[in-house]
Chain A
Amino acid sequence: MTHQPLVKIYLYSKFERFWHWVQSALIILLLVTGFEVHGSFAWLGFMAAVDLHNTIGLTWLILFVFIVFWLFVTGEYKQYIPTTRKLLEVVRYYASGIFRGEPHPVRKSRVAKHNPMQRLTYLGLTAVLLPVQMATGLLYWSYNDWPAWGLDGFLSLKVLALVHLIGGFAILIFLIVHVYMTTTGHTVTAHIAAMFSGWEEVPEGEEVEDWERMSERR
């Protein structure tokens, strides 16, 4: 791969690593139990799947509140502010450069953890897909209270389930691509190891370009 010497930088804080791994475990369990509830396969049994799905769904909602709180308190949300600069380069890199051993066009750094493609995907995920999944899930869960809340007039369980199902598929597809992308570091396990230790190895001496910096931006 790259012949440049590597340096270690501290990318992911403890809380960030914690929520990343807990959230991934919860999402995988939600996928498994959700698709069992949907009838795609039979494993735990419908009752256990419903029970687990609801418990994990609610747990995750609580965790998510903390995550969003952390993102704003630390200002890390700015990591997700979308940009199109170098987006094409990144796309081109994954489509061809990567096979020729070219270096990644955007270096990871403390102040710019995500490349432009990641920013867009993660923003879409955290700001749209996951919240939609949570909102539809929460409404699904409270189905029996709709009449009391006056929601039964305009909400239909069928439509709600449809949106929740489409969200489920989208998250599953994201997960497959996401897991694969983590293997594209300088070694197959580099990115994954970084998410455990917090330390990522990046090529030495590359400057972070101004537009990438997040903390200086106001």
Chain B
Amino acid sequence: MDCLVCHEQTGTYRKFPSGAGYPAPYVEDPANPGTQKGVPFPGESKSYFAPDWSRVAQSVARPSRMNCGTCHFYGGGGDAVKHGDLDSTMGRPPKTLDVHMGTRESGGQDFTCVRCHTTHSHHIAGRIYETPAAAERKSLLQDDLGDKILCESCHGTEPHQSGGMSDKINDHTDTVSCQACHIPEFARAQSTKMWWDWSKAGQLMDGKEVVMGPDGKSVFDRKKGEFRWEKNVVPEYYWFDGTLDHVTVADPIDPTAEVWLNRPQGSADDPNSRIMPFKVHRAMAPYDKVNKVMVIPHLFPFNKDDDTAYWKGYDWNRAIEVGMEKAGQPYSGEYGFVETTYVFPTTHMVAPKNEALPCEACHSRQSRLAGITEVYMPGRDTFAMVDAAGWVGVTGAMVAVIIHGLMRFVSGLRRKEE
């Protein structure tokens, strides 16, 4: 394990080239003794430098947001690629972006990640993959070494006490997650990747290998295909018990529908599930047409001459063959592209309380929760037949009394004339 990623505070400790592996070795510049020459990475013009080890080593401290962010802000090979709620803007966010991690000057609490992700012998709380669902919504005071951290750990289940409709809001916390109301949108400071079309890789777009979008992020890359980035994204909502189910290369898929590479677990009947906001990243990804499984292509060349690597040879078939062989999986030799989804729970970027979702966001015909059909919600749900019959009845009554009134009026006039 690399201790420094989490413990150094200079911010100069960089690995090359994609934040993994080892930092660049120290290579002296023959022209300027005492300074580094820098190590170029094959295929890139940029040079990488070795860190100043003594400064780095002396800076060791408790992990800051940036330490954890070294990996978590750049997951998937770039800033804001994976999580819509964890990106480099969370290094020093204003309170409007995150009430907890927001800087003191902006009125935030300046929490580090580990303030919530409590650790115990380097076991970081808040894992989603392996730990079972939180069976109890305990307070940290009751159990500060639990595997699950929740908003309730600090705030309890009835955090709304300011009168008015606070009771009604508290009534929701057994079905609606805190995040659902308190993170109205994610990627509020910079856009996050929402779509990745691998099937467009290997070609050129408008004759170019790389095309940049309006916000300076690539929307096309010959190596990777087409991307779509979005800012201020409204999440999708699913029942969630705190665990995700994953599809592996060994699991059969149904290519005629969207393939959910991971799926939130939970249901309306489960008292431990809540309606949770998710970033849903969609993609066109390669799969094995005959065996009906997702495939692992070999992307990164092993060496200079390795043109089985997709990023060198641009041949899907060979790249998949080698990739699957390395993974010890069979490959039929026929590939296609299938639409996949990958979900990320949205938990960070809690907005200030006055920006919490208004009731109408859920309780209206245009509800955000249109996909949550298991519960009845006033304002969103209606009974079309009853509504139709009701309004016909109401209109009928109006028309009847108007006609009756007119007839009284006319017959009255006629009687006066007589």
Q: Which residues of A contact B (CB under 8 A)?
A: 1, 37-40, 42, 45-47, 50-51, 94, 98-101, 143-144, 156-158, 161-162, 165-166, 168-169, 172-173, 176-177, 180, 183-184
Given A47-B358, A50-B168, A51-B164, A37-B398 contact (CB < 8 Å): no
Flag if A169 contacts B411 (CB, 8 Å): no
Given A47-B359, A169-B393, A180-B380 contact (CB < 8 Å): no
Interface of B is mostly: helix
**Distance in Å: Cβ of A130 to nearest Cβ of chain B:** 17
Flag if A166 contacts B405 (CB, 8 Å): no
Chain B residues whose C-beta falls within 8 Å of the C-beta of A47 in the assembled complex: 165, 358-359
Q: Which of A39, A100, A156, A180 contacts B364 (CB 8 A)?
A: A39
Can you report 22 residue pairs joining A to B where beta carbons are below 8 Å apart? A1-B412, A37-B379, A39-B363, A39-B365, A45-B360, A46-B358, A46-B379, A51-B164, A98-B408, A99-B411, A144-B171, A144-B174, A161-B376, A161-B381, A162-B383, A165-B386, A166-B386, A168-B390, A173-B397, A176-B398, A177-B401, A180-B401
Flag if A50 contacts B376 (CB, 8 Å): no
Given A39-B364, A46-B359, A176-B394, A169-B378 contact (CB < 8 Å): no
Chain A residues whose C-beta falls within 8 Å of the C-beta of B372 in the assembled complex: none
Residue B404 CB within 8 A of the other chain: yes
Flag if B378 contacts A37 (CB, 8 Å): yes
> Which B residues between 358 and 384 are near A, CB-CB below 8 angstroms?
358-360, 363-365, 375-376, 378-383
Size bracket, chain B contacts: 35 or more
Chain B residues whose C-beta falls within 8 Å of the C-beta of A162 in the assembled complex: 383, 386
Closest 9 CB pairs of A and B: A169-B390, A180-B401, A99-B411, A46-B359, A158-B376, A39-B379, A157-B376, A176-B397, A144-B171
Given A99-B408, A173-B393, A50-B359 contact (CB < 8 Å): yes
Considering the chains assembled together, what is the distance between the CA atoms of A42 and B358 in angstroms? 14
Chain B residues whose C-beta falls within 8 Å of the C-beta of A50 in the assembled complex: 165, 168, 359, 378
Considering the chains assembled together, what is the distance between the CA atoms of A158 and B377 in angstroms? 8
Which of B363, B394, B404 has the most CB atoms of chain A within a 10 A radius of its CB?
Answer: B404
**Distance in Å: Cβ of B269 to nearest Cβ of chain A:** 11
Flag if B404 contacts A180 (CB, 8 Å): yes
**Distance in Å: Cβ of A48 to nearest Cβ of chain B:** 9
Chain B residues whose C-beta falls within 8 Å of the C-beta of A180 in the assembled complex: 401, 404-405
Flag if B401 contacts A169 (CB, 8 Å): no
Considering the chains assembled together, what is the distance between the CA atoms of A46 and B412 in angstroms? 46
Residue B304 CB within 8 A of the other chain: no
